[in-house]
Amino acid sequence: MDLTLFLTVPPEDDGRRAVDALRTRLGVSRTLAKRIRLYGGLLRNGAPCRMRDPVQAGDVLEARLPAAPGAEACSAGGPEAGAAGSGADPSLAAERAATDAAFTADGGRIPYLDDRICVADKPAGWLTHPTRRERRSLTEVVAFRTGASTVHPVSRLDRGTSGLLVIALDAYSANALARSSREGDGVREYLGWVEGIPDPPIGTIDVPIAHDATSGPRRTTAPEGRPSTTEYALVRTDFSVEAPGTAGRAVSLVRFRLRSGRTHQIRVHALHAGFPLVGDPLYGGNAEGSPDGAAHPSLHAARLVVRHPIDGRILEFESPMPDAKDPTRQGRGCG
């Protein structure tokens, strides 16, 4: 897909180089600026312009970059897009088609798709990215639906975490979304069932997170770790059901909002605060408490708000907590 960016130069950038205005105002990376210079073009008020040329307030810049050969996408999505995008490799097309069918069968959804971004609702048990040992992943589904040769998850969800995340379909959109997230221009909220009752019921966990030297995948709180902040609020507590593996403790539904994006952040912070997630043995929860029987933490990315990287629209999505992740619905005919 071709990329076209427009910028009306603000007074603050009067006299600056065109490339500096593009980088500051649109988040164009050095790599993208180089690609535009080499393979695309830059216009100022309709006339050719060099990246190093100075610009004036009120100038209109138009940066163009043609799509790389074979890097096509289908805004409507669908199997026909995936078949086209797999090109001359029928085996890859067949593999991705089978992955797409399994994604749908497991309850996966694509609530939003255009030619720049995709918002997906990932089922628990699915990887965000493929690995050498396992190719079945959300990015394979998106590549199949769009026909894109490369997709860029802006964030990731752990295999056991279900819910919403955004995937960019080109490098510029990925960079713009990542920058927007760093600047706090967006919302990521999760629902999680935890053991016990959070006290206080509303709070902020502001504790650095680092790798746990004693365990490969595990993270831990540590003064030398990276700054990490999670806000939480108690939604409700259920005393009526003794969830398996919780030793008779009450279970509580908690809403979490991320202010940073560390690996396993909510899981680590919940354990640190004394209310580990149900069904999360890696971080203090009892494996027997996993509602779906697969040792998945009862954690779901329930709300996502993002600014569209091209037109600036605010897009908001919500996804209900799956019954399979709700320990209070066990034994009530709800999976």
User: What's the rounded Cα separation, in Å, for the pair 192 and 278?
Assistant: 8
Catalytic residue among 121, 158, 170, 292: 158
Pairing of strands 162-168, 299-307: parallel
Closest Cα partner for 193 from 56, 25, 329, 334?
A: 329
* Burial class of residue 116 (count of CB atoms within 10 Å of its CB; 0-12, 13-18, 19+): buried
Structure tokens at 327: 């320990």
Element (H, E) at 236: strand 229-238
Element (H, E) at 166: strand 162-168
Structure tokens at 31: 């790599």
**Alpha-carbon 57 to chain mean position:** 36
**Contact present, 111 and 145 (Cβ < 8 Å):** no
Catalytic status, residue 158: yes
Structure tokens at 295: 């040792």
Contacts of 281 (CB under 8 A, 6+ apart): 287, 295
Residue 183 identity (one-letter amino acid) = E
Q: Is the dihedral of CA 173, 174, 180, 183 positive or negative?
A: negative
Segment 278-282 long-range contacts (CB within 8 Å, at least 24 positions apart):
278/193, 278/194, 278/195, 278/243, 278/245, 278/246, 278/251, 278/327, 279/245, 279/327, 280/160, 282/217, 282/218
Pairing of strands 41-44, 47-48: antiparallel
Residue 45 to residues 11, 49, 233, Cα–Cα distance (Å): 16, 9, 51
User: What's the rounded Cα separation, in Å, for the pair 4 and 256?
Assistant: 37
Query: Catalytic residue positions?
Result: 158
